[in-house]
Amino acid sequence: ELLAAETPPAYTGERRIAFEGAFALEGVTFEYDDVPTLRGIDIEIPAGARVAIVGPNGSGKSTLLNILVGIVRPKAGRALADGLPYDQLDMTSLRRQIGIVGQKPAFFYGTVRENITYGAPDATDGQIDDAVRMAGASRIVAALPNGYETQIGQNGVTLSGGECQRLAIARALLRKPRALILDEPTNHLDVESVIDLVTTLKKLPHAPTVILVSHDPRVIDFAEITYALEDGRLRAHEHQFSQSRRA
């Protein structure tokens, strides 16, 4: 599972950058308990690109994302942001510029507003509305008994997986991330919703880099660059599934 953004970074560098959204992994390997998961990953993701990484469950997609956001250090190889290796960077600062939507977004007991503005306490009502609209969550909020002031969780409203996903996307977008990372968004949203979301993001003045990983090959419809992760290696992915679907 993709770890929460609040998890401490695995690096201790101090250099702060105004992140442009470019990532690279060079020769990255990772193993859990001596079982190799990633066996030499090289990937270059240009700023503003839309990238899909597909692979079966257990193939190491979430591990790869945790390395990319600096929560996990590779056993060998290195990760870079805007061409700078992570061990030089203040990763807490970098991570504030990256929106992360995990497989099971977490919400705390509190109002919808408190949950969405987590990490962006100074957000204005207009900015909150914009983020919620982009995330396709306006109708969800409007349908809640007290709108943004509705309590979630204990003694409050329970949200469905899809509702959580959209509110988590709104929370990520409110921080105006230079990169948005989505782990298994189709677990709770249909493919068309995911593609709509990415199309919306693409139209933003400073379109963030979008990295989406999924076991569902249909998500490659949204991407400019697609990779398949298999046996611990990344390879360029052919758009076969996508083309047969459109035909």
Which residues bind to ligand ADP, rule: CB under 6 A?
32-33, 37, 55, 57-63
Tell me how far, at minimum, the Cβ of 67 lies from Mg ion, in Å. 13
Tell me how far, at minimum, the Cβ of 28 lies from ligand ADP, in Å. 13
CB nearer to ligand ADP: pick between 62 and 97:
62
Binding site for Mg ion (CB under 5 A): 61-62
Q: Output the six-digit token pair for 23.
A: 């990532």
CB nearer to ligand ADP: pick between 186 and 200:
186
Other CB atoms within a 10 A radius of the CB of residue 98 amount to 25
Tell me how far, at minimum, the Cβ of 213 lies from Mg ion, in Å. 7
Q: Output the six-digit token pair for 130.
A: 């914009």
Task: Give the integer Cα–Cα distance in Å for 241 and 13.
Answer: 42
Tell me how far, at minimum, the Cβ of 217 lies from Mg ion, in Å. 15
CB nearer to ligand ADP: pick between 59 and 97:
59
Q: What are the CA-CA distances from residue 126 to residues 86, 112, 122, 135, 198 (Å)?
A: 35, 15, 11, 14, 21
Q: Which does 60 bind (CB under 5 to 8 A by kind): Mg ion, ligand ADP, none?
A: ligand ADP
CB nearer to ligand ADP: pick between 29 and 151:
29
Task: Give the integer Cα–Cα distance in Å for 225 and 49.
Answer: 8
Q: Which does 57 bind (CB under 5 to 8 A by kind): ligand ADP, Mg ion, none?
A: ligand ADP
CB nearer to ligand ADP: pick between 62 and 117:
62
Other CB atoms within a 10 A radius of the CB of residue 128 amount to 20
Tell me how far, at minimum, the Cβ of 80 lies from ligand ADP, in Å. 21
53 close to 64: Cβ distance less than 8 angstroms: yes
**How far is residue 143 CA from its own chain's centroid?**
26
